[in-house]
């Protein structure tokens, strides 16, 4: 899978953080720890990057992405007991709005780390997924 090595590296960083901290902290604590782990792995990223949302070529809002890694992968963090369809739909909407091919939705709130790779099926890199 395209970007598999990169997403695997990010997930590995998240597993290390979850292994050290467990569940029960606020999202911002995991965000800070994940930034440290990704730096150790020499991943380039922007944290809480503001991205503009357009409708009909008119700016209608700004959203912050938890991480934008290697200029290609959006990473959204959660610290909830269970991921819901709402979380998944939000991540997919972000990918489509930002025209990104892939993202990660990572949840630190459950006993075991959970994550989902999310895809923008309209992105040219994902034509084979359709």
Q: Which two tokens stand for residue 65?
A: 């992405």
Nearest to 95 by CA among 130, 61, 63: 63
The answer to whether the CB of 74 falls within 8 A of the CB of 5 is no
Q: For 34-57, what is each residue's pLDDT tens digit?
A: 999 999 999 999 999 888 888 899
The answer to whether the CB of 11 falls within 8 A of the CB of 106 is yes
CA gap 112, 94 in Å, rounded: 25
Q: For 48-97, what is each residue's pLDDT tens digit?
A: 988 888 889 999 999 889 999 999 999 999 999 999 999 999 999 889 88
Whole-prediction pTM value? Answer: 0.90
């Amino acid at each position: 899978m395209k970007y598999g090595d990169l997403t695997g590296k990010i997930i590995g960083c998240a597993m290390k953080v979850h292994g050290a901290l467990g569940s029960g902290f606020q999202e911002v604590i995991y965000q800070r720890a994940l930034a440290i782990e990704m730096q150790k792995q020499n991943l380039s990223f922007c944290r809480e990057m503001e991205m503009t949302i357009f409708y009909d070529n008119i700016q209608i809002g700004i959203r912050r992405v938890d991480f934008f890694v290697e200029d290609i992968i959006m990473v959204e963090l959660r610290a909830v007991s269970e991921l819901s369809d709402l979380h998944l739909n939000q991540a997919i909407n972000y990918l489509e709005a930002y025209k990104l091919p892939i993202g990660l939705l990572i949840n630190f709130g459950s006993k075991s780390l959970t994550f989902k790779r999310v895809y923008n099926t309209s992105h040219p890199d994902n034509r084979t997924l359709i």
